[in-house]
Structure 1
Amino acid sequence: MAKDDKTTEDAPAKGGKKKLIMIIAIALAALIGGGAGGYMIFAPKKATAEPPPTPGVVSVLDAITINLADGHYLKLKMTLQATTDAAEAPDGSKALDIAIELFSNRDQAGLLTSDGRDKAKKELVAKVVKAYTVEKKKEVMDVYFTTFVIQ
């Protein structure tokens, strides 16, 4: 009878494995077959996007002249697009300092192409927005070039 006890013990284990395999197969079939339930469970969660800032006042800054490499100069005049989170029109001194730091001793050839100028502007905007962000509130949302002359 010891043999019968062993056989009875093995039977439920095999049946349990078969049930598990069938459940997994059905779940996979539902996923592959376009089951909405599977999509709902395994779909990536959408991150809640931060709402875009609302434009506020525009601060016009004085033109500056920046030394480029090889004795060339950049005359740059820009404006800051503030947000409604800004209590007052932003002081442009930080933005001008960032622009001087960014463009000083840059190669003229890199700034003469539209791609080079766009890349430099994106870098400038990122640094300026970061500099004017206080307690996670963006006070400046964009920078506009009103004069960009290389000599």
Structure 2
Amino acid sequence: MAEKRVIGAQSRKIGGGQAAAAPAPPEPEAAPRRGRGRLLIVLAAVLAVLAAGAFVFLRPTEPAVPAEPEVGDTVTIEPRNINLADGHYLRLGFAIELVAEVEEVATAHATDIAIALFTGRTIAEVNDPERREELKSELSERLVEAYDGEVLTVYFTDFVTQ
């Protein structure tokens, strides 16, 4: 008797009579943990609420714009001769404008500041219109500082060089 010969898997016959066995279903992958994702979403929402609250409550308020002081009296300083460089001199008279709350100031200090600022300058320097405006601004700044904000500005009333 002739012997049957089988090649291949025992469950499969030669000639394709029976279909191959279905492969084993893959093992299910571990399901992702939803607790961590939800925690991150809740944490992000809480941080967003805290940031919005901090923005609303802790933002710097607009700085108060100081009100412009009201203009008060103007005090005239008598003209003085100030020695310039090379034997020249400047006859300088000026007026200081005060804030409204101040009624009078001692003018000797203002005169001293002006003399210190202009003494020793060249005639070309004080006669140059741009430089003269710079000196006027500097005099005004020094007087505002010296009089603790009681002075608003300075006006030249006499300005003669020789």
Indicate the TM-score class for this superposition, using the shorter chain for normalisation.
0.5 to 0.7
CA 1:45–1:97 in structure 2 vs 1: closer, same or farther (change >3 Å)? Answer: same
> Of the candidates 64, 80, 89, which is equivalent to residue 104 of structure 2?
89
Which protein shows a greater Rg?
2
d(CA) in 1 for partners of 2:156, 2:78:
11
TM-superposition CA deviations, 1:72-97 (whole Å, max 9, x none): 111100111111221x3212111100
Residue in 2 that maps onto 1:60 = 76
Higher relative contact order (CA 8 A, sep 6+): 1
Q: Which TM-score applies when normalising by structure 2?
A: 0.63
Find the aligned partners of 1:100 and 1:78 in 2 and give their Cα distance.
12
Aligned residue in 2 for 1:149: 160
Q: Note if 1:101 corresponds to 2:101.
A: no
Offset of residue 45 of structure 1? 6.0
Q: Deviations over 1:25-80 (max 9, x none)?
A: xxxxxxxxxxxxxxx9xx99643221111111111111101111122111100111
CA RMSD of aligned residues (A): 3.1
**Unaligned 5+ residue runs, structure 2?**
1-28, 49-55
Q: What's the offset of the Cα at 1:150?
A: 1.2
CA distance in 2, matches of 1:106, 1:85: 35
Match of 2:141 in 1: 126
Letter in 2 for 1:54: E
SS for the counterpart of 2:37 is: helix
List runs of 5+ in structure 1 lacking aligned partners. 25-39
Number of residue equivalences: 123
Aligned to 1:49: 65
User: How much identity, in percent, do the aligned residues show?
Assistant: 33
Which of 61, 68, 80 is matched with 2:96 structurally?
A: 80
- Is residue 8 from structure 1 mapped to residue 70 from structure 2 by the alignment? no
TM-score (norm 1): 0.67
Matches of 1:147 and 1:117 in 2, distance apart?
13
